[in-house]
A and B are shown apart, each in its own frame.
Chain A
C-alpha cells in the first residue's frame, strides 16, 4: 500500500473512527484502526464489536493495500504533523507502516488487516432516509433518558420504530420515559423496529457531519444490526435483543392539572434547586397553585439540603386544574428541560403519586414522563 493524504483529512477521519476503538481488549487488533484503499479513497475503520465506525477520506493512491494501525499512537502522531501532505507506505512483509510528512519520518508496527473483523456492507435497498436535523434532535431528546445500568440491557437502548412515514424513538430508565416522533420524507413499505444502544446513537449524533442533509438508516433483516450510512461515514451497531417495555401503556391518559410555564425560567429554577438537592435526596418539590381572578397561577420549586441550606423560586404559570404538591428527582427535570426546544412547556400532573408529563407547548412530537418521588413517612 502506498498512499498520500491531506493531514487535515486524516486527522479528522481518525478522530471520527477512534470513538469506536476499544482501548482495552483481549483482541489486540481491536485497538487498531483499519487503513485500506477503497475505490480511489482511503478507508478508516474501527470497531469494538458492538459499535463500528468507518470513514472514507480522499487520497492519492499509488499502490492498493490495507493494514491496521494502533489507533492511539497513530492519532497522536498525525496530530503532531505540521506538513500538509502525509505519505504512507506499508511494508507488507514486516507489517510496518512508514509515515512520512515534511521532515518527519515514522515507522509504525501494524497488525495484518486479515485479522480485523469484517465490517458489514449495507443492502441499500431497505434504506430509510432521515433528515440529519431531525435525527440529531431526536437523539438529543431521547438518548439521555436511557438507563446506564447493564443489569437491564434492554433499557440501555433506544427503541426505534418506523411505521409508514413516522419514525419514533423512545427510551426509559425505569423512572422516566422520553418519546420523540418525526416524519419521514418517504413512507416505508413495512413497519420496522429495533432497540439501538443509546451510546451508539450518541456517537452517531456526534459524528454526523454538517455537510450531510440525509442519513440512511438500514436494518438488514435477521442480522441484529443497524447501519447508519452517510456520504463519507458509516456507523454500524449491534442491536439489543429483547422486548422493549410497552411504553404507550405507561403514558397517563388523563390529567388533573395542566401548567404552562416558561421553559428557561423553569430550567433556571431547577438548576437552582439542584444546587441544594444534589447533596441529599435529589428532591425538588413543586408546588402548583392555580391563579385566582386577579392573580396568576404560580409554581414554586424548592430544593433543600441539611448541610447547605435551601432555595425556593417561584414563577408565574398558567394553570388549569387543582393545586398540587409533588416531588421529582431534580436531575430528571433539569435534563429534560435542557433538551426542550420550545419557549414554553406544559407540565401535566394528576396526584402526587402519579407520573408527571412534560410536553413542549405547540409541538406534539415530544413528550417526557417522570415518575414522582415520595418523602418516606
Chain B
C-alpha cells in the first residue's frame, strides 16, 4: 500500500474524534464560544439526546459576514494570534478547532449577525463540505444548529451511551456553566422540556437553588478567600450534607470547568475528620488566577490544566474550604422542624415564562437568602458553664444560647485526636528493605508514580525507576512496614487515585486507634466535677469540637428558643 496524505475531510474527522467525543462535547464547545462572544443569554436545545439536534443560540457579539466561512475552517480563531498568546489565554476557546471538527461529523448550520452589521449570514457545513454564505435577516447573536451528529461516523454513533446518560452529560455540563456564569441566563431544553433555567441575575446561590434544590442551596457554605494571585470563591456543602462520591465537587479555573484529581483531593481533605468514611462533600469552587500561571493547552477538550505552582493552588483550595467549614460547623439540631425553611421554593414555571425576553420582570423569582451564616469565631464551642453529668455518659452545660449535651466519650476522643495530631512528626521515617523489591505497575499507575517521585521521598518511600512501568523499592514508610513493599506502594497509588492525602488515612487510623485504645473516657464512667470541667474546657479549645474523629457529633444543642417552644411559652409551630 502506498502512503498518501489523507483527504482533508478524513483528517478532520480524525481530529474531531479528540474534540467531539459525544453530544455533550458539542454543547461544551458551542456554549464556550457563546460565552467567549460575551453572550448574556444562552439557550441550548437538544433533541434525541443530541443525536438529532443540538442548537445553541446566544445574544453575543456575532460573526461578521466576511468572517463566516473562516469560522468553520480548521485553526481559524479570533481568540489567539501569536504563540505567545497561548500563555495568556483569557478566553475559553483558542484552538480554532471546534466548529471545523463539529462540521466534519454533522450537518451544521451557522447563522449569525454581528453587533455592528445590519445583515446576518447563514452558512451550512455538511460532513466538512462548506456551502456559500447566504445573507439572512436575523437578530443579533449567533445560532449554531448541529443536526445528525456523527451521521458519517457510525463507529462513534455506536459507542454513544444510552440516551439517559448522554442527556445527563449535557445537563451536567450546562449546569456547571450556569453556575460558573451566574450573570448569563442559561436555558436548556431537552426533548422539548425545560431542564435548566437560570435567571442570569448574577446570584450564584440562586443558580444553585434552581439547579439542585432550595434546601441544598441553603446548606451550601460560601467560600471566599484570596491568597497571592489566587482568588477562590464558590460554595461547599456543610458537613451535614454529604454525597457518596466525588462527582459533585466541581472546579472552575478562570471560568473554565476543569477536572483535577489533586484539587478535588484538596477539597476532600479540607473535610478531613468531619465526614464519615466514604462520604464526600458537594462543592463548586471558582478559582481565578493570572492566565500565565495556568496552562490549559494540555488536551483538546481542555478539561485538564497544568499549574505553574500546583502546591500553592492545592493549599489555597484546602485552606479556603477548611476556613469556610470551620466558620460554619453546625451543631446538629435537636429537631429538624425547629428551623423553618428560609423562604418558599421558587416557582420556576414563572421564570420559564419570562424567557426569552430579557425585559420582563425577572424580580418575581428573586429570593431572599437567609443562609445560616455563623461568624468565624463561632465555630468554636462558646464558653460553657458546667451543670453536671447525666447517665454517667453525658455532660450537661449551659452556653449563652441554651443547653448543651456533650457525649463525654466522643468529646474526649476529639480532644485526644487533636492533641495527637498536633504532636505528629512532620517527617515520616523510612525503613530500608533487606532486598530491594521490583514492582510492576500499569502504565497509568506508573505515570502517577513518576509524577509523584519527589513526593514519595518525603513520605518515607525510597523508589527508583527501573525500566518501563517498573520501579525498584528500596525503602518503605515505617507505618506500612507490616505489608509487602509492592502492596505498600500500591496503598500510596490508591491514595493518589482516590484523591486522598497520601498516607493520611494510615496516620489517622493509627491515631484514632490510639485514641480509642488509650485514655478516652467511656460512656458509663462517672466523672468528678473537676474532670467534667476540664473536659468541657478542652473541648472549647478544640479546632473542630463538634464531631468526634469518627464523624459522630460530640454535642447536641438545645437552644433557649427551642426550650421556650417546647414549654409552650412561645407559639408552637
Q: Is B467 an interface residue (CB 8 A)?
A: no
Write the nearest CB–CB distance from A157 to chain B, whole angstroms.
15
Q: Does B460 contact A (CB under 8 A)?
A: yes
Chain B residue contacts of A174, Cβ below 8 A: 433-435, 484-485
A13 contacts chain B at the CB level, 8 A cutoff: no
Q: A173 CA to B434 CA in the complex, in Å?
A: 8
Contact A281–B425 (Cβ < 8 Å): yes
- State the Cβ distance, A303 to closest chain B Cβ, in Å: 12
Query: Nearest B residue to A245 by beta-carbon distance?
Result: B435
In residues 32-86 of chain B, which contact A (Cβ within 8 Å)?
none
Contact in complex: A371, B433 (CB < 8 Å): yes
B459 on interface, CB distance cutoff 8 Å: yes
CB nearest neighbor in B for A374:
B430
Does A375 contact B434, Cβ atoms closer than 8 Å? no
Q: Is A282 an interface residue (CB 8 A)?
A: yes
Q: Which residue of A lies closest to B483 (CB)?
A: A149
Residue B136 at the chain A interface, CB threshold 8 Å: no
For the complex, is B154 an interface residue (Cβ under 8 Å from A)?
Answer: no
Given contacts A306-B423, A306-B425, contact A373 B431 (CB under 8 A): yes
Chain A residues with CB under 8 Å of B487's CB are 151
Closest to B510 in A: A280
The interface stretch among B169-177, B273-281, B474-482, B539-547 is: B474-482
Known A-B contacts A281-B478, A282-B478, A307-B423; A374 and B432 likewise in contact (beta carbons under 8 Å)? yes
A173–B460 Cα gap in the complex (Å)? 19
In the complex, which residues of chain B have a beta carbon less than 8 angstroms from the beta carbon of A353?
A: 432
The proximity string for A residues 136-156 relative to B, scoring 1 for CB distances below 8 Å and 0 otherwise, is 000000000000110110000
Q: How far is the CA of A371 from the CA of B485 in the complex (A)?
A: 14
Q: How extensive is the interface on chain B, given as a class?
A: 20 to 34
**What residues on A are CB-neighbors of B349 within 8 Å?**
none
Contacts of B478 in A (CB 8 A): 281-283, 329, 373
**From B432, B458, B483, B484, contact of A371 by CB (8 A):** B432
Q: Using known A-B contacts A371-B433, A376-B458, determine if residue A175 contacts B481 with beta carbons closer than 8 Å.
A: yes
Judge whether A377 and B457 touch: CB under 8 Å: yes
Partner of A374 from the list B420, B423, B475, B483 (CB cut-off 8 Å) is B475
A359 beta carbon closer than 8 Å to chain B: no
Q: B457 — nearest CB in chain A belongs to which residue?
A: A377
Please, which residues of chain B bring their CB within 8 A of the CB of A374? 429-430, 432, 460, 462, 475
Q: What count of chain A residues pass the 8 Å CB interface test?
A: 32
Q: How far is the CA of A249 from the CA of B436 in the complex (A)?
A: 12
Min CB gap B338→A, angstroms: 42
Alpha-carbon distance A233/B427, docked complex (angstroms): 52
Shortest beta-carbon distance from B439 to chain A in Å: 13
Contact B420 A307 (CB under 8 A): yes
* B residues less than 8 Å from A355 (CB atoms): 432, 434
* A14: interface (CB < 8 Å): no
Contacts of A34 in B (CB 8 A): none
Across the two chains, which residue of chain A brings its CB closest to B487?
Answer: A151
How far does the Cβ of A295 sit from chain B's closest Cβ, in whole Å?
A: 32
Digitize B426-446: 1 where CB-to-A-CB distance is under 8 Å, 0 elsewhere: 011111111100000000000
Please give me the residue from chain A that is nearest to B485 by CB atom. Answer: A174
CB contacts (< 8 Å) of B460 on chain A: these are 374, 376
B565 within 8 Å of A (CB atoms): no
**B374 within 8 Å of A by Cβ?**
no
Chain A's closest residue to B422 (CB) is A306
Most B CB within 10 A of own CB, among A249, A281, A306: A281
Report the bound CA distance from A329 to B423 in whole Å.
20
Contact A377/B431 with A149-B482, A149-B483, A151-B483 known, Cβ cut-off 8 Å: no
Contact A151 B484 (CB under 8 A): yes
Most buried by A among B420, B425, B434, B484: B434
Whole-angstrom distance between the alpha carbons of A186 and B493 in the complex?
Answer: 53
A306-B423, A376-B457, A376-B459 known; A177+B429 contact, CB < 8 A:
no
Knowing A245-B435, A329-B478, the reply to whether A281 touches B483 (Cβ < 8 A) is no
B423, B428, B434, B484: the one contacting A376 at CB < 8 Å is B428
Q: Say whether B372 faces chain A, with CB atoms less than 8 Å apart.
A: no
Contact B425 A280 (CB under 8 A): yes
B424 at the binding interface (Cβ < 8 Å): yes
Q: Are the C-beta atoms of B420 and A176 separated by less than 8 Å?
A: no
CB pair A306–B424 under 8 Å, yes or no, is yes
Q: Give the distance in Å from the alpha carbon of A279 to the alpha carbon of B483 in the complex.
A: 19
Q: Mark A279-323, 1 if CB is under 8 A from B, else 0.
A: 111110000000000000000000000110000000000000000
Contact of A172 among B431, B432, B434 (CB under 8 A): B434
- Report chain A residues within 8 Å CB of B481: 175, 329
A177 to B432: give the CA distance in the assembly, Å: 13
Task: Report B515 CB to chain A, min CB distance, Å.
Answer: 12
Query: Do A375 and B429 contact each other (CB < 8 Å), given the known contacts A149-B483, A174-B484, A175-B481?
Result: yes
Contact B434 A250, beta carbon cutoff 8 Å = yes
Q: A377: which of B423, B458, B482, B484 is its contact (CB, 8 Å)?
A: B458
* Smallest CB separation, A285 vs chain B (Å): 11
A192 to B252, CA, bound (A): 67
Once the chains bind, are B483 and A376 in contact (CB under 8 Å)? no
Within 8 A of B (CB), among A114-129: none
B114-146 interface bits toward A, Cβ cutoff 8 Å, 1 = contact, 0 = none:
000000000000000000000000000000000
CB distance from A144 to the nearest CB of B (A): 15
Q: Tell me the smallest distance from the CB of A15 to a CB of chain B, in Å.
A: 32
For B433, list chain A residues within 8 Å (CB): 174-175, 371
A198: interface (CB < 8 Å)? no
CA distance A177 to B428 in the complex (A): 24
Within the complex, the shortest CB–CB distance from A83 to chain B, in Å, comes to 46
With contacts A152-B484, A282-B478 taken as known, whether A175 is within 8 angstroms of B427 at the C-beta atoms is no
Does A372 belong to the interface (CB within 8 Å)? yes
Complex interface: chain B residues within 8 A of A283 (CB):
429, 478
| Residue A270 CB within 8 A of the other chain | no
Report chain A residues within 8 Å CB of B514: 279
Can you offer 29 A-B residue contacts whose CB atoms are under 8 A?
A: A151-B483, A152-B484, A174-B434, A174-B435, A174-B484, A175-B432, A175-B434, A175-B481, A176-B434, A177-B434, A245-B434, A250-B435, A281-B429, A281-B478, A283-B478, A306-B424, A306-B425, A353-B432, A371-B431, A371-B434, A372-B432, A373-B431, A373-B478, A374-B432, A374-B462, A375-B427, A375-B429, A376-B458, A377-B458
A→B interface (CB under 8 Å): 148-149, 151-152, 172-177, 245, 249-250, 279-283, 306-307, 327, 329, 353, 355, 369, 371-377
| Shortest beta-carbon contacts, A-B, top 9 | A306-B423, A376-B427, A371-B432, A374-B430, A376-B428, A281-B429, A151-B484, A373-B431, A376-B460
Chain B residues at the A interface, C-beta cutoff of 8 Å = 420, 423-425, 427-435, 457-460, 462, 475, 477-478, 481-485, 487, 514
Q: Identify 10 new A-B residue pairs, CB closer than 8 A, beyond the known A177-B434, A371-B433, A374-B462.
A: A174-B433, A175-B432, A175-B481, A306-B425, A327-B429, A329-B481, A355-B434, A373-B478, A376-B460, A377-B458
